[in-house]
A = this chain, B = another copy of it.
Amino acid sequence: MSVPRPRDNQRYRTRKDLLAAAARLLRAGRSPSVAEVADEARISRATAYRYFPSRDALLAEAPLDGEQPTPESLFASEGSSDPVARLDKAEAAMHRVTFANATQHRLMLARLLEHDGRDDGVEGPPLRQNRRTALIEAALAPARRRFRPAAYGKLCSALALVFGTESMIVFRDVLRLDPDAARSVKRWMIEALVAAALAEPSGSVPAARSRRRA
């Protein structure tokens, strides 16, 4: 695959300029139309549509500010094995990227929601890459033996809700919290959930019934 087609450089530069222009406008807080991005890139609107099938596809691929946190970059030089400290560090990194690119993340999520019903057989790029679970498991790895399996599973699921784009939506759009307040609530949730998971006496208690507190 990846046969070198005739005029690759020309197409590469056009595509790059379009994405850079889109990123510039998104960074400025705008939600630009295709015409705006094309103008900003000094490229014809028709050409923009030759490279991206829709406005959403264009904006979704615009490069993000900051770097995407990866388990390696976060925990390479991390001495602590305290799950709360490690989770908090990971969440802080995701928080920064997510809130700095709020508009873009919102649009990406909207695009995914509109056709996730896997109705269309066309599967070019993997639509829903799940970065957060890897991050959470890496943060919990050193302390994993302190959790019962069932508690660990629930904790990971719960943290996946706290970490992603979706929590940004709730805190920002629904509750109208500012980023710092949102960050503070998430930190508090991490503490509470880890504490609960560590305190879990035995796995798989499905109903709220039949639990005995100390």
Whether the Cβ atoms of B110 and A154 lie closer than 8 Å is no
A170 close to B164 (CB less than 8 A)? yes
Cβ-defined partner of A113 (8 Å) among B107, B157, B175, B181: B107
The answer to whether B160 and A175 have CB atoms under 8 Å apart is yes
Residues from chain B with Cβ under 8 Å of A195 in the complex:
192, 196
Which residues of chain B are near A117, meaning CB under 8 Å? 29, 31, 102-103, 106
**Which residues from 96 to 113 on chain A have a C-beta closer than 8 Å to any C-beta of chain B?**
102-103, 106-107, 109-113
Contact of A130 with B164 at beta-carbon distance under 8 Å, contacts A110-B113, A185-B154 already known: no
Q: Which residue of B103, B113, B128, B196 contacts A191 across the interface (Cβ within 8 Å)?
A: B196
Interface centre among A30, A133, A157, A162 (most CB of B within 10 A): A157
Question: In the assembly, what is the distance between CA of A166 and CA of B174, in Å?
Answer: 11
Q: Could you tell me the distance in whole angstroms from the C-beta of A151 to the nearest C-beta in chain B?
A: 9
A184 to B158, CA, bound (A): 10
Enumerate chain B residues within 8 angstroms of A132, measured Cβ to Cβ. Answer: 174
**Contact status B192-A130, CB under 8 Å:** no
Answer whether residue A8 sits at the interface, using C-beta atoms and an 8 A cutoff: no
How far, in whole Å, are A117 and B56 apart by their CA atoms in the complex? 15
Instruction: Please name the 6 residue pairs, one residue from A and one from B, whose CB atoms are nearest each other, closest first.
Output: A192-B196, A110-B113, A166-B166, A157-B185, A110-B110, A110-B114
Q: In the complex, given contacts A102-B117, A103-B119, what are 5 additional A-B residue pairs having Cβ atoms less than 8 angstroms apart?
A: A106-B116, A154-B188, A157-B175, A192-B196, A192-B197
Offer 10 A-B interface pairs, CB within 8 angstroms, sorted by A.
A88-B208, A106-B113, A116-B173, A128-B174, A130-B174, A132-B174, A157-B182, A164-B170, A166-B169, A192-B193
